[in-house]
């Protein structure tokens, strides 16, 4: 309907002769008996001009040219059924042209190709040959890509003048081409110079091609190209560097295609069949062998990687060996059958012998988590026997998490198990990560309940790089903390919660305050350094304690206590005040009570109720033992953790607070009520 020119009908051997001028050809014409079928296909040929000569046996293209893929294209050939030999194509059309990077990007109908050239520039010459046998189109495309610069990740990137011979071909198998009764099958082949090669055998007996078997090789010499398996697709890759993140970003669908591209796609490409997505999975490998010097995935880089993987449907299973990890991984995407019915976002199952996360990778993982909504994370079932973080081996880690819906209609990532087991301690914790609030006020918040059972606090601190701070010590620390952000990136500024500390039979050692920081403040080694006190021997060699216990509240990153107690052989230390975790500062009121007799030991060993606090407790203690009051020393410690400032407080004799309740301190031996 868009053609202009003259059409002439003659009897005999000549059918209409049409001249096409300044029109647009959008597809192919199929002649079947007396019917003419027009099939819209891409890419478009614009500003087409030339002559199409028809006869009773076919047609011939004469001087046909136009613009396609951003450059000029010339077409020749035609159809001559009478001269085609047995097994040969009766339709032969050849095209020569130039494709530009911009033209390839705008041809959204090319799908994968248009995404591969997102960062490309320049242009390259190409040739195309099209034939038809048994009603099936056969296609050959070739180009050396000279003049086209590719900024794709390795190994596909290239400079403009560097050649990368590309050859794509799909044609009927020799058996299908030779006999009309043979199964209708074709072979699809793609060669990318020395980069890679793929080959598929497809069945054409349905509405869409179906992959029977295939082989894919990247970085493997052609002579070592693996043979296709009996069924499925086998892939083999040997690479220097494989950046999965970069490839994912390059190949993913554009988030918002332009209105023009959408209109073209809707006008030219018919709607896919419902089974198209499932059939596309046939092209993915069912077995995969990869060897890479480096592999980058989700911001983390692995070194000296060897992967053996298999796929069953949408479920992937892999054995991975690298410098950073070793073990078995399984991924079930959303919708795949899985042991967890609530795995709405998929399930990652892992059993690893070792896993090492350096600090840089940890930062990248944190950034990845912070950029995602809690409801988009997959369920996790992970066990690592030897877990290493920032160069420190932390022992065995177990993680179980799942996505679930909340009453408000949102989804949360519930961490049902986050356990660490080391010879020195066992951490058990659980919590959740969810959106709180709504609209612009919505924020991601993590809440964790935890309990740390300590077998040797000194060895535990040494494992975290604080050697020589504490000797021995066993007990428990437990509570709940929450912060804005992901579970792997605690934000001290927004951290709130509470915890209880109860550790027994240890000793604070002489340590550099810059190393132990707040613990060096608690050890009170700064007291004898600044004051000539009668209990210098108690702290100079490190305070040996029978117990350290107390409660702490955390609000916006500031930890506060009013009942911290440390009981030693010769003295007890009572403490109240606050510490800013973000700024690493403190403001503490410290009371040192030398042990005078059994009554002193009994009084200071009594747990301080956080409801009454340190002041009321001391008032009751001093009422019981005036001698204790006379020997007690008080200090204020502020400044930074690494450079604490100590000031002695001149204490006045105190009496019981007005209206105080009856004493809660039990009478020592020999005391009168």
Tens of pLDDT, residues 255-288: 544 444 444 433 333 333 333 444 467 888 999 9
Contact 269, 183 (CB under 8 A): no
Contact 459, 491 (CB under 8 A): no
Contact 536, 515 (CB under 8 A): no
pLDDT of 370 above 60: no
The pLDDT of 331-339, averaged and rounded, is 69
Burial 652-673 (b: 16+ CB within 10 A, else e): eeeeeeeeeeebebeebeeeee
Q: 104: helix, coil or strand?
A: helix
The pLDDT of 332-344, averaged and rounded, is 59
Q: 441: helix, coil or strand?
A: helix
| Among 17-31, 60-74, 492-506, the least confident range | 17-31
What does the alpha-carbon distance between residue 637 and residue 291 come to, in Å, rounded to a whole number? 58
- pLDDT at residue number 187: 93
Question: Of 107, 134, 118, 136, nearest to 126 (Cα)?
Answer: 107
| Among 68-72, 315-319, 459-463, 662-666, the least confident range | 662-666
Mean of pLDDT over the chain:
77
What does the alpha-carbon distance between residue 594 and residue 571 come to, in Å, rounded to a whole number? 4
The pLDDT of 453-466, averaged and rounded, is 88
Q: How many CB atoms lie within 10 A of CB 278?
A: 12
The pLDDT of 345-351, averaged and rounded, is 88
The pLDDT of 575-589, averaged and rounded, is 90
Contact 116, 156 (CB under 8 A): yes
| Among 245-249, 267-271, 300-304, 512-516, the least confident range | 267-271
- Label residue 366 by pLDDT band (50, 70, 90): low
Structure tokens at 538: 């108690």
Structure tokens at 498: 């509470």
Would you say the C-alpha torsion 257, 263, 268, 273 has a positive or negative sign?
Answer: positive
CA–centroid distance for 520 within its chain: 38
- pLDDT at residue number 376: 66
pLDDT of 404 above 60: yes
Q: What are phi and psi of 339, to 5 degrees?
A: -60, -30
- pLDDT at residue number 270: 35
pLDDT of 617 above 50: yes
Residue carrying structure tokens 């078997």: 213
The pLDDT of 418-443, averaged and rounded, is 85
Q: How many CB atoms lie within 10 A of CB 457?
A: 25
pLDDT of 666 above 80: no
What does the alpha-carbon distance between residue 487 and residue 369 come to, in Å, rounded to a whole number? 8
Q: Where are the alpha helices (DSSP H) in 508-597?
A: 513-516, 518-522, 526-530, 536-539
- Label residue 307 by pLDDT band (50, 70, 90): very high
Q: What are phi and psi of 189, to 5 degrees?
A: -130, 140
- pLDDT at residue number 541: 58
Torsion of CA 635, 638, 639, 640, to 10 degrees: 100
What does the alpha-carbon distance between residue 154 and residue 238 come to, in Å, rounded to a whole number? 12
Contact 393, 387 (CB under 8 A): yes
Q: Burial, 480: exposed, middle or buried (Cβ in 10 Å; 0-12, 13-18, 19+)?
A: middle
pLDDT of 92 above 50: yes
- pLDDT at residue number 26: 41
Contact 50, 20 (CB under 8 A): yes
pLDDT of 337 above 90: no
Q: In what helix (H) or strand (E) does residue 136 lie, and over which residues does it extend? A: strand 136-143
Would you say the C-alpha torsion 481, 484, 489, 493 has a positive or negative sign?
Answer: negative
| Among 76-85, 336-345, 380-389, 644-653, the least confident range | 336-345
Contact 348, 329 (CB under 8 A): yes
- Label residue 6 by pLDDT band (50, 70, 90): very low
Q: What are phi and psi of 7, to 5 degrees?
A: -120, 135
Q: Where are the alpha helices (DSSP H) in 91-158?
A: 101-106, 112-116
The pLDDT of 37-42, averaged and rounded, is 44
- Label residue 656 by pLDDT band (50, 70, 90): very low
- pLDDT at residue number 3: 41
| Among 393-407, 489-503, 586-600, the least confident range | 586-600
| Among 211-225, 407-421, 446-460, 656-670, the least confident range | 656-670
- 3-state SS of the chain: helix, strand, coil percent to 5? 20, 50, 35
pLDDT of 535 above 70: no
- What are 166's strand-pairing partners? 143, 192
Contacts of 647 by beta carbon, 8 Å cutoff, 6+ apart? 635, 636, 637, 638
Would you say the C-alpha torsion 116, 121, 127, 128 has a positive or negative sign?
Answer: positive
Question: Of 192, 190, 141, nearest to 163 (Cα)?
Answer: 192
- pLDDT at residue number 470: 85
Q: Burial, 602: exposed, middle or buried (Cβ in 10 Å; 0-12, 13-18, 19+)?
A: middle
| Percentage, residues of the chain above pLDDT 70 | 72
Contact 584, 592 (CB under 8 A): no
- pLDDT at residue number 662: 41
- Label residue 228 by pLDDT band (50, 70, 90): confident
Full 3-state SS string of 279-329:
HHHHHCCCEEEEEEEEEEECCEEEEEEEEEEEEECCEEEEEEECCCEEEEE
Contact 428, 421 (CB under 8 A): no
Question: Of 132, 153, 142, nearest to 37 (Cα)?
Answer: 132
Higher pLDDT: 158 or 32? It is 158
The pLDDT of 618-630, averaged and rounded, is 74
Report the Cα–Cα distance between both ends of the chain, in Å, rounded.
113
- pLDDT at residue number 445: 87
Question: Of 605, 594, 590, nearest to 627 (Cα)?
Answer: 594
- Label residue 233 by pLDDT band (50, 70, 90): very high
What does the alpha-carbon distance between residue 344 and residue 377 come to, in Å, rounded to a whole number? 9
- pLDDT at residue number 399: 92
Q: 170: helix, coil or strand?
A: strand
- pLDDT at residue number 509: 76
Residue 609 is classified by DSSP as: P
CA–centroid distance for 435 within its chain: 19
The pLDDT of 135-157, averaged and rounded, is 89
What does the alpha-carbon distance between residue 207 and residue 474 come to, in Å, rounded to a whole number? 71
pLDDT of 364 above 70: no
Does this model's pTM top 0.75?
no
Which tens digit of pLDDT belongs to each residue from 461-478?
888 877 877 889 999 999
Q: How many CB atoms lie within 10 A of CB 334?
A: 15
What does the alpha-carbon distance between residue 186 and residue 206 come to, in Å, rounded to a whole number? 13
Higher pLDDT: 653 or 245? It is 245
Structure tokens at 586: 């403190």
The pLDDT of 54-80, averaged and rounded, is 84
Rg (CA), the chain: 38
Contacts of 564 by beta carbon, 8 Å cutoff, 6+ apart? 501, 548, 549, 550, 552, 574, 575, 576
What does the alpha-carbon distance between residue 99 and residue 116 come to, in Å, rounded to a whole number? 14
- What are 18's strand-pairing partners? 7, 52
Q: 655: helix, coil or strand?
A: coil
Contacts of 314 by beta carbon, 8 Å cutoff, 6+ apart? 281, 332, 333, 335, 336
- Label residue 126 by pLDDT band (50, 70, 90): very high
Higher pLDDT: 652 or 173? It is 173
């Amino acid at each position: 309907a868009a053609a202009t020119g003259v059409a002439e009908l003659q009897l005999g051997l000549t059918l209409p002769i049409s001249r096409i001028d300044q029109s647009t050809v959008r597809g192919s014409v199929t002649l079947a008996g007396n019917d003419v079928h027009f099939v819209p296909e891409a890419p478009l040929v614009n500003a087409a001009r030339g002559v199409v000569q028809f006869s009773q046996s076919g047609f011939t293209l004469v001087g046909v040219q136009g613009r396609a893929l951003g450059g000029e294209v010339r077409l020749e050939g035609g159809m001559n059924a009478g001269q085609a030999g047995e097994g040969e194509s009766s339709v032969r059309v050849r095209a020569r042209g130039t494709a530009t990077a911009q033209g390839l990007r705008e041809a959204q109908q090319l799908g994968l190709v248009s995404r591969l050239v997102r960062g490309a520039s320049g242009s390259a010459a190409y040739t195309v040959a099209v034939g038809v046998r048994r009603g099936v189109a056969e296609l050959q495309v070739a180009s050396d890509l000279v003049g086209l610069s590719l900024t794709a990740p390795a190994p596909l990137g290239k400079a403009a003048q560097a050649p990368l011979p590309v050859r794509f071909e799909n044609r009927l198998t020799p058996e299908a081409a030779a006999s009309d009764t043979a199964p209708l099958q074709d072979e699809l082949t793609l060669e990318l110079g020395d980069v890679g090669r793929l080959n598929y055998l497809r069945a054409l007996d349905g509405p869409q091609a179906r992959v029977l078997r295939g082989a894919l090789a990247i970085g493997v010499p052609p002579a070592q190209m693996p043979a296709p398996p009996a069924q499925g697709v086998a892939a083999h890759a040997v690479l220097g560097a494989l950046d999965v993140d970069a490839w994912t970003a390059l190949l993913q669908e554009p988030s918002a295609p332009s209105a023009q591209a959408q209109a073209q796609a809707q006008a030219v490409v018919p709607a896919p069949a419902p089974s198209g997505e499932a059939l596309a999975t046939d092209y993915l490998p069912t077995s995969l062998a990869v060897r890479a010097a480096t592999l980058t995935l989700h911001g983390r880089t692995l070194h000296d990687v060897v992967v053996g993987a298999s796929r069953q449907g949408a479920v992937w299973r892999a054995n991975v060996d690298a410098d950073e990890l070793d073990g078995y991984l399984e991924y079930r995407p959303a919708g795949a059958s899985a042991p967890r019915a609530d795995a709405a976002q998929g399930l990652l199952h892992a059993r690893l012998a070792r896993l090492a996360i350096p600090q840089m990778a940890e930062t990248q993982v944190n950034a990845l988590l912070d950029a995602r909504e809690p409801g988009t994370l997959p369920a996790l079932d992970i066990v690592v026997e030897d877990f290493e973080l920032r160069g420190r081996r932390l022992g065995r880690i177990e993680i179980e998490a799942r996505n679930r819906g909340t009453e408000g209609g949102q989804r949360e990532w519930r961490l049902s198990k986050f356990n660490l087991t080391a010879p020195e301690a066992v951490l058990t914790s659980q919590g959740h990560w969810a959106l709180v609030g709504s609209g612009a006020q919505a924020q991601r918040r993590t809440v964790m309940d935890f309990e740390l059972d300590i077998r040797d606090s000194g060895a535990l601190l040494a494992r975290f790089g604080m050697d020589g701070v504490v000797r021995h010590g066993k007990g428990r620390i437990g509570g709940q903390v929450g912060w804005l952000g992901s579970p792997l990136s605690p934000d001290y500024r927004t951290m709130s919660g509470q915890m209880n500390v109860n550790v027994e039979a240890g000793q604070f050692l002489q340590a550099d305050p810059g190393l132990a920081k707040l613990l060096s403040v608690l050890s009170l080694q700064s007291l004898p350094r600044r004051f000539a006190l009668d209990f210098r021997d108690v702290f100079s060699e490190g305070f040996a304690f029978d117990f350290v216990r107390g409660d702490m509240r955390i609000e916006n990153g500031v930890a506060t206590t009013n009942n911290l107690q440390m009981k030693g052989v010769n003295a007890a230390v009572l403490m109240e005040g606050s510490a800013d975790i973000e700024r690493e500062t403190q403001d503490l009121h410290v009371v040192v009570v030398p042990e005078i007799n059994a009554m002193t030991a009994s009084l200071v060993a009594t747990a301080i109720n956080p409801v009454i606090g340190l002041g009321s407790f001391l008032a009751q203690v001093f009422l019981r033992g005036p001698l204790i009051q006379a020997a007690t020393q008080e200090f204020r410690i502020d400044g930074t953790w690494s450079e604490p400032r100590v000031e002695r407080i001149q204490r006045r004799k105190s009496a019981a607070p007005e209206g105080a309740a009856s004493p809660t301190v039990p009478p020592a031996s020999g005391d009168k009520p």
